[in-house]
Structure 1
Amino acid sequence: MVTGTTTTPRLVLSPPRQADLAELHALHADPGVWAHFPSGRHATVEATARILTETIAGWEERGLDFWTVRARLDEGPGALVGMGGCRLHRGPVWNLYYRLAPTVWGQGLAQELIAAARAAAAAQHPEVPVVAYLLEHNDGSRRAAERAGLQQVWRGPDVGNPDPDAVRLVYADREVDVGMLGVVTGQA
């Protein structure tokens, strides 16, 4: 079982705590973070608190969920720059999540986070596919998934999105069963 803090060359990845709420809310309320999906922006701290509560419970129940992402400094963790990792989601898949502050985009930090998340998921349940579920027009997220070696396994409507023309892509680290894809995409 994977527990605790993980480090990469430039990041400190830690299970979140209630004390992280203000920083996580600032991240999730930042319009720049949600440029590709404005309706996902957290308008209230309660929206962030719900995700934080789910994430803490995931760590307690399964030993792996999303991390807080902080810059790695010589003296220890620095400022919060994101949230991400893997969470068991909608059935038997690891949902790969990476949300980083716009100030650190383009520096390769998503790749460090994705690599650590995939390693943690594989250490816990190597038989479970890792999938990235993203909006087609989110070029940065798509490029990050592709750079990490994930392959597009599905393209279709984004069920529940307020934009009826929104298209979702599913990238995966291996072939994914059609039935499982239906569950992941809300098509089942």
Structure 2
Amino acid sequence: MLRQPVRMLTARLSLRQPALADAVAVLDILSDPSVVQHNPSDLVTELEDVEALVTQWLRHWERHGFGNCCVFEEETGRLVGSCGLRWMTIKEDRVLNLMYRFHPSAWGQGYATEAAAALLHWAQESLPAEPVVARIRPTNLASQRVATKIGLRRDPAFDDHGEDGLDWAFTHRS
């Protein structure tokens, strides 16, 4: 089993495996309608629902040795978002789904780009043959900018319909 480092450091961030104790801060992020504007089915308003979500994240870590991370400002220790990789199937292909969600107070600071780049680098080093796919709604321009800044490109071969509509795929495949 591959093992993502327990804690990854970037210039300004610390990414680590989530803990149930993080659920309150994750709830603060995922209960904000602006955070899930492009994925409204991901809105979570109850602590028990976030605890169940964090438990799912932890199960992925247990099975695969990597997964969704909680992202903290290194300077303040404040949980500002989540960013991670998880296995999923798109059109019968097994891929690594790269996702990122951040609190609005952290938007515009490059945190999503910094965290996503660190995880993409880890995936390219640890699982070089596996496609990494960021699934992004066509109207989510901010998320598309993050994907392209870290070197992902539109890959219509992986476009698919998600729970909230069409997902465009951005990958590192040539």
Per the TM superposition, whether the score is higher than 0.5 is: yes
CA offsets per residue over residues 28-62 of structure 1, 9 Å max, x none? 11122112233321132233222211111111221
Aligned length: 168
Alignment of 1:41-120 (within 5 A): 41-73=43-75, 78-90=77-89, 92-120=94-122
CA offsets per residue over residues 76-102 of structure 1, 9 Å max, x none? x61110001211222521110110111
1:135 counterpart = 2:137: yes
Rounded Cα–Cα distance in structure 2 between residues aligned with 1:79 and 1:130: 28
Rounded Cα–Cα distance in structure 1 between residues aligned with 2:149 and 2:5: 26
Q: Which has the larger radius of gyration?
A: 1
**Aligned-partner residue type, residue 129 of structure 2:** E
Instruction: State the 4+ residue runs in structure 1 displaced beyond 3 angstroms.
Output: none
Aligned to 2:123: 121
- Stretches of structure 2 that go unaligned for 5 or more consecutive residues are none
**Aligned-partner residue type, residue 142 of structure 1:** Q
Name the SS for the 1:92 alignment partner: strand
- Deviation of residue 136 (structure 1)? 0.8
Rounded Cα–Cα distance in structure 2 between residues aligned with 1:96 and 1:72: 22
Q: Assess, with a 3 A threshold, how the Cα gap between structure 1 residues 50 and 127 changes in structure 2: closer, same or farther.
A: same
- Stretches of structure 1 that go unaligned for 5 or more consecutive residues are 176-188
Rounded Cα–Cα distance in structure 2 between residues aligned with 1:107 and 1:65: 23
Rounded Cα–Cα distance in structure 2 between residues aligned with 1:152 and 1:141: 12
Equivalent residues of 1:27, 1:33 under 8 A apart: yes
- Deviation of residue 159 (structure 1)? 4.2
- Deviation of residue 157 (structure 1)? 6.0
Equivalent residues of 1:2, 1:123 under 8 A apart: no
CA offsets per residue over residues 85-142 of structure 1, 9 Å max, x none? 2112225211101101111111111111111111222232111011000111111111
1:171 counterpart = 2:170: yes
Partner of residue 160 from structure 1, selected from 152, 160, 163? 163
Rounded Cα–Cα distance in structure 2 between residues aligned with 1:156 and 1:17: 32
Rounded Cα–Cα distance in structure 2 between residues aligned with 1:48 and 1:124: 29
Across the aligned residues of Structure 1 and Structure 2, the Cα RMSD in angstroms comes to 1.8
**Aligned-partner residue type, residue 152 of structure 1:** R
Equivalent residues of 2:66, 2:85 under 8 A apart: yes
